[in-house]
Structure 1
Amino acid sequence: MSEPKRDVTLRFLAEPQDVNFGGKVHGGAVMKWIDLAAYACSAGWSGRYCVTAYAGGIQFVAPIHVGNLVEVSAKVIYTGKSSMHVAIEVNACDPKSLNRRHTTHCIVIMVAVDESGHPINIPQWVPETDEDKKQHQTAIKLMEMRKQISEEMQIYIPKNK
């Protein structure tokens, strides 16, 4: 296996089929792009097929318009035994001006799986720079918060009768 790659950026043009009734790219299209970038990033890091386990904290900051050049950047910020926390940032611009603007960001957790779909161990990432250490700590805090949210959400899970 080659050296794990920690980040990836996907670039493409927003197309007419991506637009909602309000004339902007709809959130579902953006979420699909986020999932694709998270997969490419996590597969590049782990060298394995990966599945999405969680996507959260998605914040839509600014609209994306048809014809915009879209960049979806993904970066591993934490690794578990088989999971990777991937920070996603989406930027867009008019391709004629190339004045990028931030549109969306979130965290996605991906899990590397074997041929049977069972989690499999991955290379561990160790933060080195101050920014890496800060992102790593943020990922740990978010894990703790997700546990609390999951406990609170139990009331909404149907009980078998």
Structure 2
Amino acid sequence: MNAPQRDVTLRFLAEPQDVNFGGKVHGGAVMKWIDLAAYACAAGWSGRYCVTAYAGGIRFVAPIHVGSLVEVEAKVIYTGNSSIHIALEVNACDPKSLNRRLTTHCIVIMVAVDQNGQSESVPQWDPQTEADKKQHASAIKLMEMRKQIGEEMQIFVD
């Protein structure tokens, strides 16, 4: 078996059909690209089909213009029994200059599932570098915060 792939980068050009009424790439298009990169990363890590369980902390830092070269970078920062926590960063630039700038970042949690939709175990990721260890610790803090937020959000779903 090949070693799991921890990260992936998708690259493409932002197209006219991705534009919103303000003339910039629509946030929904960016979120779709994030989901695609998260899936590719999770599948590469686990060797299994994965589904999105959570997407959060999304920050739209700067707009993306039509014709921009877009890079969506996804990287495993924590693994549970069946979950894979992925940090994503979206950068864009004019393809003629290649001066990349951060446009969006977030966290997505994917879950590996079998053909019946039941969760399956995934290979565990162990942080090696100091940067990895910081991201791993941050992922654990974010899990605790999501639990609190989930409890607070119950008022909107009852």
Distance 2:26 2:78 in 1: 29
Number of residue-to-residue matches in the alignment: 158
State the partner residue of 1:99.
99
Distance 1:51 1:122 in 2: 13
Instruction: Please list the CA deviations of residues 101-135 of structure 1 after superposition, one character each: whole Å capped at 9, or x if unmatched.
Output: 00000000000001111000010000010000000
Distance 1:111 1:8 in 2: 17
Compute the RMSD of aligned alpha carbons: 0.5
Distance 1:59 1:156 in 2: 23
Instruction: Please list the CA deviations of residues 15-72 of structure 1 after superposition, one character each: whole Å capped at 9, or x if unmatched.
Output: 0000000000010000000000000000000000000000000000000000000000
Distance 1:85 1:49 in 2: 15
Gaps of 5+ in 1: none
Aligned 1:3-152 pairs, distance under 5 A: 3-152=3-152
Distance 1:18 1:156 in 2: 31
Per the TM alignment, residue 157 of structure 1 is displaced from its structure 2 partner at its CA by: 1.2
Identical pairs, percent: 82
Which amino acid in 1 is paired with 2:9? Answer: T
Distance 1:60 1:26 in 2: 11
Distance 1:28 1:157 in 2: 23
Distance 2:39 2:2 in 1: 17
Which amino acid in 1 is paired with 2:7? Answer: D
Distance 1:70 1:156 in 2: 35
Distance 2:119 2:5 in 1: 20
Distance 1:16 1:135 in 2: 35
Which amino acid in 2 is paired with 1:56? Answer: G
* Secondary structure of residue in 2 paired with 1:137: helix
Per the TM alignment, residue 156 of structure 1 is displaced from its structure 2 partner at its CA by: 1.1
